[in-house]
Chains A and B, each alone.
Chain A
């Protein structure tokens, strides 16, 4: 199939629109001038300044801690929830349960944040890293559960039944049969939860206290006043990490794909 000029134009313009703002950001992070929009020369000094800024480093550390704990917890809870929804027999309040899984996906962040803050104040829980972890776990477990349940729905249930028939306990059947099959979905669920947590400004702002500032909160308060060269440098680092991560992930999945193809051919 050949592409018409119209299609080539819309692809070019579309991807330019998607990528130019970030490319400009990356280029200007190497600008020497403090006036961000005027190019005066190449320099990496804003990176130096960023890395010697203790407040940013602390915030990065808090963000990473929150993301690791909340995404791991969310993956466990979300996988359990998906399993309960897809494989579980009818249980009382099933409709409510699936409602509670889907509602946080569409709930505006300001409302999720507000309601959790009111809960934490109501029960007298000190706000800090713990409360952000609880908040992030709650909304990202719903994303994990959607990702995992789409995988659970699509795979052949008779595999599990066969394991049970052959004398596996339900737990062993889950561990030895189900888990390896849904593993890719569980991993992508974890990655999704991790990114959502790294990214979240609104819910973290509501649920944090003076003791814990996350990177998005720090970035937001800095850029409210306008464009800043340190934030450009920080953004570039974050874009670099994500790009690297996606490239590595796609290489791994390509290798697995090739290996699978190869394996199924040699089995024939």
Chain B
């Protein structure tokens, strides 16, 4: 009896507050927008029966997403921004993880803590901290103008570049930690052996270090790519009107245009897009677990 209780409470909670809400999104995405409260039709009623209700559902909103180029442009641009910033995060995060793994044993715990610490501070504040740096009168422009590197202030805030910086900054711990975990386990005598056998340092790095940290790189990339795809805070604070991201489109569709059926359809398509990287990530993790045990 107690066994059942342990399972049943979290099970019902997740059914009621995760699965059923998602079923509602799916249903509304197949409904039509209406001037009513709530603003969509059809409403389910027992008198009309489930048959009549189902008959009124259609894929109109999804067809609409393909005809209005705002949406597919937003999906493509989210994919592009997520992919580019994942690559940038990898290029910046890898050397940091590498240096951490090479650092003296007694430093490592502190370095780890320093990487994790920003994660505990508010995401919103970390994004916000870049607004003062990147704005036209911001600290970066003041510094560069003061040093005489540039004569005109750079326009970075409200561009894609600012979004990249924001994503790299907030998500880099997710890249560093798995790569560090992989490099940390790497047996350094392998590299010594390669160098003894005449490998150059760069060649040993490409032939030994990179392949052996492959799982860490893959895990890090997914951990950055997946959440970035639906990101809302970064594009709305650092991006401009030109940086389209699907999370922001969904938000505006819902709050500003009050078009619930289209917002729901946008959400359903986003989930469908996310399933591919999530399944690949899951497989990578499973392979890694099997390799370790």
User: In the complex, what residues of A have CB within 8 A of residue B121's CB?
Assistant: 22, 238-239, 242
- CB pair A24 B15 closer than 8 Å: no
Hey, what's the 0/1 contact readout for A181-223 against B, CB within 8 Å counting as 1?
A: 0000000000000010011011000100000000010011001
Using a CB–CB cutoff of 8 Å, the interface residues on chain A facing chain B are 1, 3-4, 6-8, 10-11, 14-15, 17-19, 21-22, 24-25, 28, 35-38, 77-78, 80-81, 83-84, 88, 91, 93, 97, 100-101, 103-104, 106-111, 114-116, 118-119, 121-122, 134-135, 137-138, 141, 145, 170-171, 195, 198-199, 201-202, 206, 216, 219-220, 223-224, 226-227, 231-232, 235, 238-239, 242-243, 245-246, 250
- CB pair A78 B10 closer than 8 Å: yes
When A83-B6, A110-B247, A238-B122 are in contact, do A115 and B274 touch as well, CB less than 8 Å? no
- CB pair A110 B95 closer than 8 Å: no
Number of interface residues of B (CB under 8 A): 77
- CB pair A116 B17 closer than 8 Å: yes
Given contacts A37-B138, A135-B17, 15 further A-B contacts (CB under 8 A): A7-B99, A10-B96, A22-B129, A36-B132, A37-B137, A114-B264, A118-B25, A118-B28, A119-B20, A119-B21, A170-B2, A198-B122, A201-B123, A202-B251, A226-B131
Interface centre among B25, B38, B122, B237 (most CB of A within 10 A): B122
Interface centre among A38, A114, A138, A238 (most CB of B within 10 A): A114
User: Nearest residue in A to B26 (C-beta to C-beta)?
Assistant: A115
Does B115 reach chain A (CB closer than 8 Å)?
A: yes
Nearest CB of A to B233, in Å: 6
- CB pair B113 A250 closer than 8 Å: yes
User: Nearest residue in B to A192 (C-beta to C-beta)?
Assistant: B120
Interface centre among A100, A101, A206 (most CB of B within 10 A): A100
Which residues 74-105 in B have Cβ within 8 Å of A in the complex? 92, 95-96, 98-100, 102-105
Interface centre among B21, B115, B230 (most CB of A within 10 A): B21
User: In the complex, what residues of B have CB within 8 A of residue A35's CB?
Assistant: 137
Using a CB–CB cutoff of 8 Å, the interface residues on chain B facing chain A are 2-3, 6-7, 9-11, 13-15, 17-22, 24-25, 28, 38, 92, 95-96, 98-100, 102-105, 111, 113-115, 117-118, 120-126, 128-133, 135, 137-139, 142, 169, 172, 226-227, 229-233, 236-237, 247, 250-251, 254, 260, 263-264, 267, 270-271, 274, 278
13 A-B contacts (beta carbon < 8 Å): A11-B100, A15-B96, A18-B118, A35-B137, A114-B264, A138-B13, A145-B10, A202-B232, A216-B124, A227-B135, A232-B132, A235-B129, A242-B120
User: Nearest residue in B to A170 (C-beta to C-beta)?
Assistant: B2
Nearest CB of A to B263, in Å: 6
For A118, give its contact among B24, B96, B274 (CB under 8 Å): B24
- CB pair B21 A11 closer than 8 Å: no
Instruction: Give Cα A116 to B15, complex, Å.
Output: 12
Instruction: Give Cα A224 to B15, complex, Å.
Output: 36
Nearest CB of B to A16, in Å: 11
- CB pair B25 A80 closer than 8 Å: no
